[in-house]
Amino acid sequence: MKHLIIFFSAFSLIACQKNKETSLNVKPADTLKIGQDSYKTEISSGNILVENFTFPKEIKECSCYFAKSKSDFEAEKFIYADDVGKTAYMKLDGKRLSMNLLSSSDMEVDEDLNKEIESENYKISVKGKKVKNEEALLFEGTLTIEKSDGASITMPIYGECGC
């Protein structure tokens, strides 16, 4: 009887130690590794949600349209579009907006792109330079959005202007 009690005690002790070892060595399979995004975003206060949208049907002829990167541009994930006249389109904070284009530089003459856009709640500035060695009017630059509550965001853009 003594041997039987010792045997079961030893068996229980070994069984408990195995459970501890297996639970300590188990690594979760669903670990998350977050890498650096391809563009730098500066947020001063609050948040402004800038979303992709499809090309506006209102634009019939000449236009400028931009994405966050060259790959997004090629995938037609636009964040900004205008009719090179008086109206600019963006999707900000979940709402598709149609805004007044206050000023725009002549991209045919100058290699610099400058646009100022304003609405009731947002002030937007687009600045860029023509991409060298390209036949089309392709631009790289920055888009800055200032919200009336003081929030602002600056992000890189890549896009095209043309007819």
Share of the chain above pLDDT 90, in %: 56
Beta-strand runs (E) in the chain: 42-43, 50-51, 63-67, 78-82, 87-92, 95-104, 112-118, 122-130, 137-147, 152-162
Q: How is residue 36 annotated by DSSP?
A: P
pLDDT, mean of residues 124-147: 91
Longest dimension (CA), the chain: 102
Provide the residue ranges of all domains of the chain, joining segments of one domain with +: 50-161
Q: How confident is the model at residue 84 (pLDDT cuts 50, 70, 90)?
A: confident
Q: How far apart are CA 139 and CA 104, in angstroms?
A: 14
The fold for domain 50-161 equals: Lipocalin (2.40.128)
